[in-house]
Amino acid sequence: MTGPGTYLRIPLPDGSYGYGRELTEPYTGFYDYRTTEPTGDLDALDATKFLFVQSVRVRPGDQWEEIGRRPLEGEAARPVVRFVQSAGDFRECVIYDSEGLERPATPEECVGLERAAVWDARHIGGRLLDTFLGLPNEDELNARVRLE
């Protein structure tokens, strides 16, 4: 991956395409935008919200294609907020952001936030496709905050 502001075309398991954008290291935002044919319409992507933002490990052969680059602004320039949860005591959580702010939190405060994790590119493709098809994604469900 090449740096903040880079737009990405992501082949999905069914042959369609999802799209993302590199944000501040190490995060990538994934758009609510899917096509059956490849496109490079950056204006259409800029008009679309992110479904989610995640840290991703892209490896050679993952076939994510760079389709353009623009400076980050708006939603793409906001700090990325995450949570971590203790494996020993589910009630111990911390919310932090990509600018270095952090604070203790309850599990309830973490609902709707992404867990701090690094996903493989293939899992991102599966999550995008499941989301577009209205299906639950096992990886995303397992990453949610535990409330008990």
Evaluate if residue 1 carries a pLDDT over 70: no
Taking every pair of Cα atoms in the chain, the longest distance, rounded to a whole number of angstroms, is: 47
Q: From CA 3, how far away is CA 88, in angstroms rounded?
A: 36
Task: Locate 102 and state its tokens.
Answer: 């952090």
Confidence grade of residue 60 (pLDDT, cut at 50, 70, 90):
confident
Q: What mean pLDDT do residues 120-132 have?
A: 96
pLDDT at residue 58, rounded to an integer: 83
DSSP 116: S
The pLDDT tens digits for 103-113 are 999 999 999 99
Any idea where the domains of the chain sit in the sequence?
Answer: 6-143
Write phi, then psi, for 42 (nearest 5 degrees).
Answer: -65, -30
pLDDT at 86: 96
Tell me the pTM. 0.94
